[in-house]
Chains A and B, each alone.
Chain A
């Protein structure tokens, strides 16, 4: 199971890197989204995939999943939600202001303001 997860995570990272390296701003933001998904899955895998029951206290259950990675992932999801929302707003504003979503045209050398 861990191997499978690792392959999945690697695939997500691969797709994320491909998207981040592309020129369109929107693709880049989707890429960062995939990157954080991969990160969250990695965090889950790193905590170990054992444990059958949800880490909520109830009678007769002893085999809990490790709650800490779940708490960390929740926090990380909230943060990446905020960051993604912010970067979407920023991308929109940039598109309005600069008239392009092409990163190549946003290089900003002295003659290309």
Chain B
């Protein structure tokens, strides 16, 4: 099965196309979506195992020779990301059954989610820079649909800004690809990597590198390009917010890591220094935001920005520990952000508000929710042995190895702020006197809690069992640190 690496992309697409036939039959939609996601997920696991045993998988579409056709490449990093994005998709869909509302389910909610997963997985898998643009557009178009679905006033207002920002950034993407094409004359990422290494340290290459940082920085919400994110992400309902918060910024982060490890390795002194400074500034901006708001959604949304900064810092130091830490933290962040958004989703469902000052005392009636929130918050901050710990440890170790003393200490300090911001939600929402509308149907509560608890347990397992994940992460890091592995897989007998 040489087409195996395409299955996590094609299966959601196929099921989304099938779902378009009967938008009004909600029950059938739900069942088929779950079946589709489970099939895709199992194919992703098979792919993961295949990449682990046989190394990087590559396939050039249409049987063309590698630099000419569109190449799809699945290395360990993209296989891991594909698997975790499908996993999050599954939990979000499960959570949506009771929370999204029948009206949205009838207006192409599930097909939009599946199309978005197609785009996300495609962007993770593709080995062609223009094809990456196409997959970005696929996921953006579906995200436009998702963000405006339901048509509330605030959604319409915010989605216009979201679409506008993304149109501009997509245009920049195409412009940058145009520049890159004029320099190297190819679009195949492996080929670009080889040709750029031949060109060496040229000014235009650095310009292109910075342009790519801007393009993907808008999607990945780095400083100062995150301005659109808090407003837009707060508009749609919780399951959609979860999907966006857990996945969409990570696509941008993935693209930055991929281009900065594969293409722009000749002028590290400038490009990666810039990346490091930007990542530190991103963390500062995120920390300020996370402490400034009393809105639970906004607090967690600003935590996305902090995480983006931490991951990019790990990638910018370009050594083994830092890179491996970034990989650990990237997957951790997808899972933990999913869990946290679902948890605050339940809190918002119970209290009917997202304002911290209007809620309180939930621990008495909802102890399970309270304790699982606490575990997730500790995991977010990176308290051992929970999931965030190992990633952050390795990132800081990488920083120290490159003698970036202050920056590493800064990242440590930012963990405290993350902890503070997450615990603030716990204190306000769960302690104190009972406030807010507390008459909540216990059955709905249980239905919402089931996927959330499962996801929290999964993050705990991710933290406790990180020892078993080390071989996977080592493989991912090896490809990132040595671009020739990637290009050999594309051009050599990587079939």
List residues of A whose CB falls within 8 A of some B CB: 20, 25, 28, 32, 35-36, 38-40, 42-43, 45-48, 68-69, 72, 75-76, 79, 82-83, 86-87, 90-91, 93-94, 97-98, 103, 106, 108, 113
Q: List B contacts of A79 (CB < 8 A).
A: 134, 137, 170
- Nearest-Cβ distance from residue B353 to partner chain A, whole angstroms: 13
Given contacts A83-B141, A87-B163, contact A39 B171 (CB under 8 A): yes
For A44, the closest partner residue in chain B by CB is B178
A42 and B178 contact, CB distance less than 8 A: yes
B182 and A46 contact, CB distance less than 8 A: yes
- Nearest-Cβ distance from residue B178 to partner chain A, whole angstroms: 4
Q: List A contacts of B154 (CB < 8 A).
A: 108, 113
Q: Would you call B174 an interface residue if the criterion is a C-beta within 8 Å of the partner chain's C-beta atoms? A: yes
Q: List B contacts of A87 (CB < 8 A).
A: 160, 163, 167
Q: Would you call B187 an interface residue if the criterion is a C-beta within 8 Å of the partner chain's C-beta atoms? A: yes
For A75, the closest partner residue in chain B by CB is B134
Question: How many chain B residues have a CB neighbour from A under 8 Å?
Answer: 30
What 4 additional pairs, Cβ within 8 angstroms, besides A43-B174, A87-B160, A106-B157? A35-B171, A42-B178, A76-B133, A97-B151
- Nearest-Cβ distance from residue B128 to partner chain A, whole angstroms: 11
Within 8 A of A (CB), among B419-446: none
**Whole-angstrom CA separation of A79 from B171 in the bound complex:** 11
A82 and B163 contact, CB distance less than 8 A: no
- Nearest-Cβ distance from residue A86 to partner chain B, whole angstroms: 6
- Nearest-Cβ distance from residue A109 to partner chain B, whole angstroms: 10
- Nearest-Cβ distance from residue B187 to partner chain A, whole angstroms: 7
**Whole-angstrom CA separation of A93 from B178 in the bound complex:** 35
B40-76: contact bitstring with A at CB < 8 Å (1 yes, 0 no)?
A: 0000000000000000000000000000000000000
Given contacts A72-B130, A94-B157, A106-B160, contact A20 B141 (CB under 8 A): no
Within 8 A of A (CB), among B109-151: 130, 133-134, 137, 141, 144, 148, 151
Given contacts A46-B178, A93-B151, A98-B156, contact A36 B130 (CB under 8 A): no
B187 and A68 contact, CB distance less than 8 A: yes
Q: List A contacts of B163 (CB < 8 A).
A: 83, 86-87, 90
Pick the contact of A32: B130, B141, B164, B174 (CB < 8 A).
B164
For A86, the closest partner residue in chain B by CB is B144
**Whole-angstrom CA separation of A82 from B167 in the bound complex:** 11
List residues of B whose CB falls within 8 A of some A CB: 130, 133-134, 137, 141, 144, 148, 151, 153-154, 156-160, 163-164, 167-168, 170-171, 174-175, 177-179, 181-182, 187, 231
Pairs of residues from A and B, 9 with the lowest C-beta to C-beta distance, nearest first: A46-B178, A46-B182, A43-B178, A94-B156, A39-B171, A106-B157, A39-B174, A32-B167, A79-B137
Q: List B contacts of A36 (CB < 8 A).
A: 167, 171
A83 and B167 contact, CB distance less than 8 A: yes
Q: List A contacts of B134 (CB < 8 A).
A: 75, 79
**Whole-angstrom CA separation of A39 from B233 in the bound complex:** 28
A46 and B171 contact, CB distance less than 8 A: no
**Whole-angstrom CA separation of A42 from B158 in the bound complex:** 30
**Whole-angstrom CA separation of A40 from B28 in the bound complex:** 42
Q: List B contacts of A86 (CB < 8 A).
A: 141, 144, 163
For A101, the closest partner residue in chain B by CB is B160
- Nearest-Cβ distance from residue A110 to partner chain B, whole angstroms: 10
B141 and A98 contact, CB distance less than 8 A: no
Q: List A contacts of B178 (CB < 8 A).
A: 39, 42-43, 45-47, 69
Q: List B contacts of A98 (CB < 8 A).
A: 153, 156-157
For A71, the closest partner residue in chain B by CB is B130
- Nearest-Cβ distance from residue B122 to partner chain A, whole angstroms: 14
- Nearest-Cβ distance from residue A24 to partner chain B, whole angstroms: 12
- Nearest-Cβ distance from residue B453 to partner chain A, whole angstroms: 34
